[in-house]
Amino acid sequence: MRLLRPWLISFVLLASFFGVSYPASAQRPASARADAGQQIIISERTIHHIQDRHWPDSPAQGAGKYSPGITVQSLRDLINEAVANGRSRSNTNGRPGRIYEYDFGRPIGTTINGNPASRLRVVVNSRNQVVTAFPI
């Protein structure tokens, strides 16, 4: 086993000193920022939910679907862009959190009715965790 390089040890120590944290890979933060100024979190559980309900080959009824060819990374990129640049409003029905909507100006999937969709809706809870994201 190779010893850690001195620069790596210095980096880790400096990062620890300045309070840089490294979240678990299942909750890797996205680069987009939520209204509270904190990074949003896209968990593996959320990715699985989106794949189960909104992936192009999902049999789920009454749900917007992403275009064929979507990948987990391109999904993360869409979510990041929508949260960073989209319009934000309070969640509905008294639920805590925010809803972000962003129009990409190009098709990203289909609506519930099967029509082309260029907008994305991202639901973020009060802990800045993405709950779901789907084309509208």
CA distance 56 to 51: 8
Q: What is the pTM of this model?
A: 0.74
Is the pLDDT confidence value at 22 over 90?
no
pLDDT band at 39 (very low <50, low <70, confident <90, very high): confident
Looking at 28-37, 62-71, 85-94, which range is the least confident one?
Answer: 28-37
pLDDT of residue 16: 39
CA distance 120 to 100: 8
Is the pLDDT confidence value at 83 over 80?
yes
CA neighbor of 118 nearest in space, from 90, 59, 78, 69: 78
Is the pLDDT confidence value at 60 over 60?
yes
